[in-house]
């Protein structure tokens, strides 16, 4: 494993560079008595004797995430600012506070919460990374449709910023309900990754696993009021532990932040 470079701009697994006189090897997955053999051969096919070393690699034991799925959609009135108007929003959850992009504290019940499970070996920190795979909001009225789509990418920041505590994260996606439209619907698909990074000097983040989740719902305006939403959501399947046999060795990868465009 050459390393893992991740920022909001991109997250990539870096292949090792073997052209130098030395290279750094990272053990990402825990195991006991990992035997490594090494030899080299010159262009004339003369090879060195084989050197053997045994490593005992520690890692987070029994990693997982417990999921609290509140699973409801509501219409909530949120406080606006210069960046985003306030008013009614379709929310996966039931919250009060600022509209998206506005400062302030959000309170209430999120749509979903992820809490780490597992025991870390020594000092280090758990953290979360969320990738959005698809997110579409559609506003309709007679003779007009307004659609906002979100490109695949990391959700907001790396690491994920929607933390409830040092060991849990939550999400309550929100969509504005414009008074000029009669129906608003939204479909959302994302994956939350659980990560850990040892405090050992030179350590790289380690993937522990992921949970796919989604929701979809809609609400309709009648006589100036938005009705109770229909729809549901929650985890898709169960928590999937990371393994070295998965694509990108189980790491979350992305080429940019998730960006929303509307037309």
pLDDT digits (tens, 9 = 90+) for 19-34: 777 777 888 888 877 8
Please report the pLDDT score of residue 25 as a whole number: 81
Q: pTM of this prediction?
A: 0.91
Q: DSSP letters along 156-174, please?
A: SSSS-S-EEETTEEEE--E
* Residue 100: other Cβ atoms inside 10 A: 13
3-state secondary structure of 101: coil
**10-residue stretch averages of pLDDT, the chain, 263 residues long:** 89 82 82 84 92 90 94 95 94 95 92 94 93 98 97 96 83 96 98 95 94 98 95 95 94 97 96
Tell which residue, 162, 17, 10, 9, has the closest CA to residue 1: 17
Cα distance between residue 115 and residue 64, in whole Å: 9
State residue 32's pLDDT score.
Answer: 72
Q: State the Cα–Cα distance between residues 65 and 116, nearest whole angstrom.
A: 5
**pLDDT for the residue 31:** 80
pLDDT value at position 1? 59
DSSP string across 211-239: EEEEEEEEEEEETTEEPPPEEEEEEEEEE
């Amino acid at each position: 494993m050459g390393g893992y470079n991740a920022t909001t701009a991109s997250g990539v697994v870096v292949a090792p560079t073997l052209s130098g006189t030395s290279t750094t090897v990272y053990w990402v997955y825990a195991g006991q008595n990992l035997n490594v053999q090494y030899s080299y051969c010159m262009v004339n096919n003369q090879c060195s004797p084989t050197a053997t070393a045994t490593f005992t690699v520690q890692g987070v034991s029994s990693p997982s995430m417990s999921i609290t799925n509140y699973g409801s959609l509501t219409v909530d009135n949120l406080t606006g600012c210069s960046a985003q108007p306030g008013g009614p929003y379709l929310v996966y959850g039931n919250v009060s506070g600022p509209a998206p992009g506005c400062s302030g504290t959000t309170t209430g019940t999120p749509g979903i919460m992820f809490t780490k499970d597992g025991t870390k070996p020594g000092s280090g920190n758990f953290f979360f990374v969320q990738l959005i795979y698809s997110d579409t909001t559609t506003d309709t009225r007679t003779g007009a449709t307004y659609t906002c789509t979100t490109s695949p990418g990391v959700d907001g920041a790396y690491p994920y910023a929607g933390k409830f505590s040092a060991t849990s994260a939550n999400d309550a996606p929100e969509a504005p309900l414009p008074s000029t439209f009669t129906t608003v619907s939204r479909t959302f698909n994302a994956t939350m990754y659980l990560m850990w990074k040892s405090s050992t000097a030179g350590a790289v983040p380690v993937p522990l696993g992921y949970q796919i989740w989604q929701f979809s719902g809609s609400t309709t305006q009648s006589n100036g009021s938005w009705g109770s939403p229909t729809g549901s959501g929650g985890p898709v399947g169960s928590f999937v532990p990371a393994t070295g046999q998965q694509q990108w060795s189980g790491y979350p990868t992305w080429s940019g932040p998730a960006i929303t465009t509307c037309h």
